[in-house]
Amino acid sequence: MSKLLVIEVSPRFEFSVSRALAARFVENWKAAHPQGEVVSRDLATMNLPFVDLPWIGGAFSPPEQHTEEHLDAISLSNELIAELQSASDIVIATPMYNFTVPAVLKAYVDQIIRPGVTVSATYEGLVTGKTATVIVVTGGDFRPGAPFAAANAVGPYLQQALGFIGITDLDIVLACRTRMVDEGEVTITEFIVEHEEMIAAAAVRSFSPVAA
Ligand SMILES: Cc1cc2nc3c(=O)[nH]c(=O)nc-3n(C[C@H](O)[C@H](O)[C@H](O)COP(=O)(O)O)c2cc1C
């Protein structure tokens, strides 16, 4: 059965443009997958830990050497990886913070890249057969051709990190200039409508004809 994992990042909740766009993505995905399941992972509400010494000890040693401390440190990572592996489609809706991903999303990526679990000893990605869409929302203008387009590290970073673990079928949807919403030039509804077609196309691109 098709399963969509929705990863949300913004701490602005009802004011968040990335969350509003993710909701549109989910609506369109559901329409294309009436029997499909949607699972939500909200990084803004879960106090994701950073990698620490016990985590590294657990992640970089064989299971037979794991101590209780190691097992405890990597248990969330195991849970997040199982959730990721069980999804057929993944959508990540994220703001740009200081040209790259918010720290919580970096912390999530650090939890899901695990030698021997999501990437093999010979650097083969082990999270395969999935489609992924990243919705990147920015205050400024990073559209191709814009003066600061090359400063956008969000898409390239996620493409590299997710590709490393085998998630190579990746679409990046860029929704720029939310500053116009903050400054009252357009309403959030107008902004969403402007990007609706792009979001719908990305959601339908995720449609898998062999699944539900
Ligand atoms: C801490 C912080 C850093 C930000 N850094 C950037 C940035 O580097 N470039 C940019 O264009 N917008 C930046 N923004 C603006 C956000 O990307 C923009 O407000 C976006 O709409 C936030 O997503 P959200 O509406 O889903 O919360 C930043 C916002 C915050 C709060």
Per residue in 75-98, pLDDT (tens digit) is 999 999 999 999 999 999 999 999
User: Could you tell me if residue 122 is inside a domain?
Assistant: yes
Q: What is the CATH number of the domain that holds 36?
A: 3.40.50.360
Find where tokens 């970073």 sit: 157
Total residue length of the chain:
212
Atom of ligand 1 nearest to the CA of 96: 17
Q: Is 146 in the pocket of ligand 1 (CB under 6 A)?
A: no
Residue 189 pLDDT > 80: yes
7 CA to centre of ligand 1 in angstroms: 17
Residue numbers of the domain that contains 199: 3-205
Region label for 172, one of left (φ > 0), alpha (ψ between -120 and 50) or beta (otherwise): beta
Find where tokens 């766009």 sit: 21
User: Could you tell me if residue 65 is inside a domain?
Assistant: yes
Q: Give percent of the chain above pLDDT 90.
A: 95
User: Could you tell me if residue 210 is inside a domain?
Assistant: no
User: Could you tell me if residue 212 is inside a domain?
Assistant: no
155 DSSP assignment? H
Phi, psi of 138 (to 5 degrees): -130, 150
What pLDDT is stored for residue 68 in this prediction?
Answer: 97
Q: What is the pLDDT of residues 66-81, one digit of tens each?
A: 999 999 999 999 999 9
119 DSSP assignment? B
User: Could you tell me if residue 56 is inside a domain?
Assistant: yes
Annotated binding residues, as ranges?
10, 16-18, 96-99
**Probe ligand 1: pick from 16, 18, 42, 98, max atoms within 8 Å of CB?**
98
pLDDT confidence bin for 208, thresholds 50/70/90? very low
User: Could you tell me if residue 200 is inside a domain?
Assistant: yes
What pLDDT is stored for residue 211 in this prediction?
Answer: 36
User: Could you tell me if residue 113 is inside a domain?
Assistant: yes
179 CA to centre of ligand 1 in angstroms: 9
As for how many domains the chain has, the answer is 1
Atom of ligand 1 nearest to the CA of 142: 11
Q: Which residues contact 179 (CB under 8 A, 6 or more apart)?
A: 139, 140
172 CA to centre of ligand 1 in angstroms: 17
